[in-house]
Amino acid sequence: MERKTKVNAEDNTQELQIVREFDLPLELLFKAYAEPEIVEQWMGTKVLKLENKNHGGYQFETTDPKGNKHRFNGVIHEFVSNEKITRTFEMENTPFDVQLEFLTFEKLTEDTSKLTMHVLYKSTEVRNQILALPFAQGINMAHNRIQDIVSKLK
Amino acid sequence: MNLRRDVFQAIADPTRRAILILVASQSMTAGAIASNFDTARPTVSKHLQILTECELLEQEQNGREISYHINAKKMKEVADFIEPFRTMWDDRFNKLENIMKIYQDKK
């Protein structure tokens, strides 16, 4: 399987790159980012606001397995259909500073396309903390499950 | 290279992550570990075997019993790595691709 998501995060930098080639025409790939109902499906999030235009904004909301709601928002600096989205991204009510994202959409063939996400963080430390998040969350979820099981035994 | 892939397969499973947390603070016998789960004992044994094979757990023979403890060095190697982040995006993008293929076929 060659068509996999690649993440490049060099040591001691405050940026990273996520690159993915899709088995989809460019227009369909871009649509997945532009249409709120479609964003909701693949991001697993509710779209509260999505203004696809220069100087627009967006806000998403996810619900975790415990029912807690988490919101994300940002400002869309530049929006060019089938070409690029430049935006900020911020997790609300977390200590993480806002990040800047450059999304570039490219046509490879009639049926394939490529997305490059270039993300800039406030510092190397912030980047590394955010990189570690999915693993930490997985561990916490497993830990909570253990606690549930153990408390049932008592 | 193969070994590295196995490690991430190992921690992709929630039960195996739970086992790692259990034995993180103290070494435990297979029976003691299994008593923490609703899962059948052979299933837990299978998880222990996988974790041992990819060196996240180490076995220790104590008389007739085998106990397990965590291999801290290997765990750190995994925790430092960006693989879970990549997997998160890979899952999202796989979903995106599937949804848009269905969308395309509907047209």
Tell me the pLDDT tens digit for each residue of B46-80. 999 999 998 889 999 888 889 998 887 777 666 55
Handedness of CA B4, B9, B15, B18 (dihedral sign): positive
Q: Which amino acid appears at position A6 of this protein? A: K
Closest CA to A39 of B66, B102, B93: B93
Please give the torsion angle defined by the CA atoms of residues A115, A116, A122 and A125, in that order, rounded to the nearest 10 degrees. 100
Whether domain B2-81 has CATH 1.20.1070.10 = no
pLDDT band (50, 70, 90) for residue A135: low
Which pair of structure tokens corresponds to residue B59?
A: 């076995």
Residue B80's nearest CA partner among A89, A5, A17, A9 is: A9
pLDDT tier for residue B15 given thresholds of 50, 70 and 90:
confident
Q: What pLDDT is stored for residue B74 in this prediction?
A: 76
Give A89-131 as a DSSP string.
Answer: EEETTSSPPPEEEEEEEEE-SSS-EEEEEEEE-SSHHHHHHHH
Q: How many CB atoms lie within 10 A of CB B85?
A: 20
User: Which residues of chain A have a CB within 8 Å of the CB of B85?
Assistant: 7, 130-135
Binary contact (A134, B99; C-beta < 8 A) = no
Taking an 8 Å cut-off on Cβ atoms, the answer to whether A22 and B93 are in contact is yes
pLDDT of residue B12: 72
Q: What is the pLDDT of residues A19-59, one digit of tens each?
A: 999 999 999 999 999 999 999 999 989 999 999 999 999 99
Q: What are the residue boundaries of the structural domains of chain A, listed by start? A: 6-153
Q: Where exactly are the structural domains of chain B?
A: 2-81
| Residues of B contacting chain A (CB within 8 angstroms) | 11, 14-15, 17-18, 21-22, 35-38, 78-79, 82, 84-90, 92-93, 95-97, 99-101, 103-104
How far is the C-alpha of B59 from the C-alpha of B42, rounded, in Å?
17
Q: What is the CATH number of domain A6-153?
A: 3.30.530.20
Q: What are phi and psi of A75, to 5 degrees?
A: -110, 135
